[in-house]
Structure 1
Amino acid sequence: MSIARKSRKGRPGRGVLLAIGLLFFASGVIRLADGTGHALAREVEALVNRDEAEGLPSGGLGPERDGLTCASDESLSQTLAALRDRSEALDKREKQIELRIVSVQRAEQALQENLKALEAAEASLAATVARADGAAEEDIKRLISVYEQMKPKSAAAIFEAMDPTFAAGFLAQMRADSAAAIMAGLSPPRAYSVSALLAGRNAGVPTE
């Protein structure tokens, strides 16, 4: 029995064998991982060397980055062109407005000058009319004085041929004695017409 116990003690236990197996497994995993890491490192290095040989930034994003840059530059160019066209259109519109303002100012100035000329013409016409009225009134006064100084028979002959309205107008401004002498020399129909006109001229005059 002592020999059997000794032989049992000489064999390694199951725990020891399990530990040894785990160590071998861990060693394999470490070797495998180490090999994979080296492989990945070699692949990355190859990609970097290829990009550098082609003159591209590292990382393999050169073409895509250049495409985005070209698209961005084209969009910026289009925006700048649109802004430039808009600015030119605004400048053109501003110049048109300025020309329109100058045209309106010139038209307004011409209108003011025409108004001043019209006012001057009206003033001149009013003065001319006033002078004409004064001259006509003076002429009428002289005619009345002439008729008053004529012989009643000669003056009556003139008034007989005169338009009844004019005759009535002259007689209304003559002295009463001269007018009566001329009326006495008129024919009855003419004297009646002149008398009716004189009465009509005085009909609207208030008695008081």
Structure 2
Amino acid sequence: MKKKLYQTYRSMTRWVKRQIRNPRKRLVLEAVAVAAIIIAIISLVTSGKKVNTEGIKEGVSYIKSLEKKDTSEIEQEIKEIKRAERKAALESGEINVWAQFNDSVILGDSRAVGFEVFDCVDDSRVFADAGATIRKIPEYIDGIKAVNPSSIILCFGINDMNIGFWKTCEEYITEYDQMIQQLQEALPDATVYVNSIIPAT
């Protein structure tokens, strides 16, 4: 009797191994196993046994609360977290200085183009053209809004000085202020940094 049971067990084991070795049959076995698990779960839920739904209710409630939240508020929270992480990583030496520009955009002339050409900053964050002046800024606004940076860095001035659009420094400053105002209206949460004009040598 024991011998017969052992032989039956051995033949069943061999059969299962053969099935597992065959990819097509193994797929069928896996499908049957998954179906059995699903049926067991469904029967457990419908059998009248109480299933703890507190965690599910909390999760649904949390998702609904997020739906009501203003996305700009959440974006600002994310930016603050990123800023703190970058500061800590820079102080510990984990990241280099160029990594600090991953939430900034750079606008400007050929000096700014250099940030992209030399792979210092990702090209999606550089809005610049050789020969550009501050009058180019409005053309970049839609692209900058799509990136939604925390910082906007302006590198203009060298071309502006000799192009003849402005008769006095005061006229230039007034127009520059207007351009900065346009940027601030389009991206009120971003900080605008104005680089000084490099002195001629």
TM-score normalised by structure 1 residue count? 0.26
Structure with bigger RCO (C-alpha 8 Å, 6+ apart)? 2
1 or 2, which has the higher strand percentage?
2
Flag the structure with larger Rg. Answer: 1
TM-score normalised by structure 2 residue count? 0.27
1 or 2, which has the higher helix percentage?
1
